[in-house]
Structure 1
Amino acid sequence: MSSTKSSVNSRHRPISKDANAPGHPVYGVTLSPESIEDMASTGWPGSKIESIKPLEAGKSFNNKIYFLKIRHPALGVQDSVLKVNGTLYDGDKVQNEVACLRLLELYCPEVPAPRVMAWSEAGTQATFVSPNHAETKALGEGSAGNTAGWILTSRLPGKPVSTADLDAAAISSLAAQLADIVASWRQRIPFQKHGGSMQIRSTVTDNEGIALDRPCGPGIPDLVIRGILVEEMKLTDPITRIHDYYRLKLDNKLQLLESVDILERNRHLLEPLRKLRDERLLELSFSDIFTQTGTPADTFVFTHYDLFPRNILVSGESPPRVTGIVDWEFSGFFAPMDEFLDDWLDAGDWPEAFYTTFLKALEEKGVATPVGGVPGDGWHVAYWLERTIESAAPWWLLPGSLSAEQNEKALEKAESVVKEMLGNLGIV
């Protein structure tokens, strides 16, 4: 399988946690008021920007975000969100989010997700869309010098869930609401024979393409599934088997472990990790997961991949109502358990009572989850693999963000996790 992935992820360049300091992904990233005015007037002649409010520093890691009020000649004032790429990702991230939001609009219109209004992969031209029309236009002089990709969407009401405010009634209600929403996209958006992120202007020639039963709508000339955006893996060939999906992710981590200086302490893990990738992985069976989830063998399921409280918007109280799900930039088609593995591995964002109630509610709606529908080795193998992959080259060890002592402790903990998971997977 060929790849255009660089040998070292950009995520492992020196990165600051301080949004106002050099090295942070959004440091220096901006769109001037003139650029924003130019974007609006180019896309909707006669429109005006009534207000521009940037999201406060530190609230977003990968993007610079602006809240806009745009006055359209025919539609009146519309609240919108402009999300500008930070320095870690390119226009592929914009394309993937556009594709994911389009699929939701087509297959799950009741899901409270943003609606795409416009996007630009590189800042020099933009595609503006309505339900039945799309037009790509060159941006004017007001946007000169901007090379960052961006996406403009409708703004959803509500504010992120505050887990500290959740009582038993709120937990029960929000869990049921979120289960309804997640069941919708897992059951309505068709399974895919290729796994990963999506591109809508692909140069890849793919006779098989994406398996949908309806066109994706205006503004999308092509649609393929290639690579894994969150891992910064750019692939020219599709991922067609679950074994290859895990092998490629392992290979990606091995390259980082071999090449990133900050990870040198744990390079003695390379040999057993290579054994897992080259030998043991082929012996593992994922048939239980496919059988138990009702998913055809070696297919991939539409997945949000980041269902944490910060991305769930709610309004009202007693109980609160889910009014929005945001941040679809790393969504795509992934292994059947990935939605739950991602949440499970980062346990602590949701209260345990919420997460358990959410999974049980999904089970009642016919979606197999770790609490019942996927018992035994199927779930365990997927969990052990993901914990191995996550800890082999931990993304959270941002160069320059930890002291030497903190880094040593973090690598020691990662080593312990990898050894435990390898033992569970039969690697001594």
Structure 2
Amino acid sequence: MTKLTALGQTENVSTLNNHPRVSLRLGAIAPSATLAVTKRAKELAAAGKNVIGFGAGEPDFATPNYIVEAAIKAARTPAMHKYTPNDGLPALREAIAAKTLRDSGYAINPTDVLVTNGGKQAVFQAFAAVVSAGDEVLLPSPYWTTYPEAIALAGGVTVEVFADAAAEYKVTVEQLEAARTEKTKALLFCSPSNPTGSVYTPDEVKAIGEWALKHGIWVLTDEIYEHLLYEDAQPAHIVKLVPELADACIVMNGVAKTYAMTGWRVGWMFGPSDVIKAASNFQSHLTSNVNNMAQVAALEAVSGPLDAVYEMREAFDRRRRLMVSMLSEIPGFKVPNPKGAFYAYPSVEELIGQEIGGTLITSSAVLSDVILEKAEVAVVPGEAFGPSGFIRLSYALSDAELIEGVERIHKLIAS
């Protein structure tokens, strides 16, 4: 269990009139490690290197055409050129409520839905709405790199609860209870998981929800990968399984992963009326309404059929099975079977202390650097998501690139 304070210390801070030039709050934020890896891979590609990137956390498919056409039509509608309600277009909020009943199995009031500029804004505003200075937030680790930064910006303290590869990266109620203190305010829960691809079973989700309810702990649940489930993985929505938790739960979601709409920047959050009202007031000063054309596109997406989603899921599943099979043949790689999202998260702990490509591997960050420099393959080190000793590979890329990239890694490690 590791605690991360709300504001870190910055060395060699430049000053102006004896005050830091950059605020301590923003100066303490670490850049997104996943975006940094993608940027570095693009820089090498621009320099003529044949880099294969496993870093991107976005589908490699185009947004379905019927969704694009809805946005084009909206762009030609004068009413869409003006400010619209801060909470989101009423039709979209109603559609999100209908989609929640269809996909999650429980009813919500459209007035308790807040449309946000992507899932990241929903995550930040959820923490900002319920976390006060010094409040502790339990964060299962490995975790998405943005969570601890959003907690810190809200003034909270991140308490990591780590589950390793042997546990399929899933924390238990016993671990959460051991980490709970009188300062514990909230739990961040994400299944299917980024970065691990792990999926909690309905029984596991229910047990965690009942534990949170018993101890009066908020649950902030990120369901952005809800439709990307494979093999025997089942949908498990915590409010559906523990209805009494609805008054202390915020659900965050969006169209980015399900409909290949990462660039459209439309997410949402819903929960108790008082919390959503507070988040809405905050958003009214922060960004006001989300881009109207993107909202209309999102309306078309969530209101329409899931046929395109299922086609993408079939391709992801094929790549998932291929990647897991190939990675499992690499010496020193231990690969739990991911049953959701589009990531594999092998343990590379056995490789630490070995020499690879002429470099002594002292961490998964060093290994990732060696893989990029020697094999020209971009992966994200475990340090971006918690403890060292792991790497994340996205299989949201072509089959040919996947095969070539993993073969390069295998050749490097085995040589």
TM-score normalized with structure 1 length: 0.23
Q: Which has the higher contact order (CA 8 A, sep 6+)?
A: 2
Higher helix share: 2
